[in-house]
């Protein structure tokens, strides 16, 4: 898990890894289903809530295939809702975990709804692209294989 997008976060630190795992575990429990999410994105969402000043890496440091996720994370940093919630979550890991789980659960539900029901093909494609970006690369490849075999 070394491809996070925040400056100053050590993605190889065992506590950082543990936080990502804990968020994923809670998210699975809350949603009641299996999810193969990219832990580095969960960690980034956690630290956006937790750090006094979360600083994004420069876009040129991010691999090209992560461009969409970079934009998504950037919009989370500047989201009014997140800014308001940070009042309670800064330097508080328990609250940051809870808010990250809630945020991710709603984000995934909303994207899946758009993918299923939107009238616009463009919107459906964008939602799918973001959902794929949220998932582990290994899982996206396996899912695409399964879909092409159908």
Spatial contact of 28 and 101, defined as CB atoms under 8 Å apart:
no
Q: Which residue, 77 or 111, is less far from other proteins as judged by CB?
A: 77
Q: Please tell me whether residue 30 binds other proteins under the rule CB under 8 A.
A: no
Cα(123)–Cα(29) distance, integer angstroms: 29
Spatial contact of 94 and 102, defined as CB atoms under 8 Å apart:
no
Handedness of CA 42, 47, 49, 53 (dihedral sign): negative
Q: Please tell me whether residue 83 binds other proteins under the rule CB under 8 A.
A: yes
CA 64 centroid distance within chain: 17
Cα(51)–Cα(46) distance, integer angstroms: 9
Residue ranges in 93-112 that form contacts with other proteins under rule CB under 8 A: 93
Q: Of the ranges 31-39, 47-55, 113-121, 127-135, which one interacts with other proteins (CB under 8 A)?
A: 47-55
Whole-number minimum distance, CB 92 to other proteins, in Å? 6
Whole-number minimum distance, CB 50 to other proteins, in Å? 8
Positions that interact with other proteins (CB under 8 A): 7-8, 15, 50-55, 83, 86-87, 90-93
């Amino acid at each position: 898990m070394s491809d996070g997008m925040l400056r100053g976060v050590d993605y190889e630190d065992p506590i950082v890894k543990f936080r990502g795992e804990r968020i994923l575990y809670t998210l699975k429990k809350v949603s009641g289903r299996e999810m193969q999410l990219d832990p580095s994105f969960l960690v980034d969402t956690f630290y956006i809530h937790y750090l006094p000043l979360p600083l994004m890496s420069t876009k040129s440091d991010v691999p090209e295939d992560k461009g969409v996720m970079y934009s998504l994370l950037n919009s989370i940093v500047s989201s009014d809702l997140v800014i308001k919630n940070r009042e309670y979550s800064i330097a508080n890991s328990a609250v940051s975990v809870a808010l990250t789980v809630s945020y991710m659960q709603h984000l995934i539900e909303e994207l899946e709804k758009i993918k299923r029901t939107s009238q616009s093909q463009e919107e459906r494609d964008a939602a799918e692209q973001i959902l794929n970006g949220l998932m582990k690369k290994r899982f996206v490849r396996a899912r695409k294989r399964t879909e092409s075999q159908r």
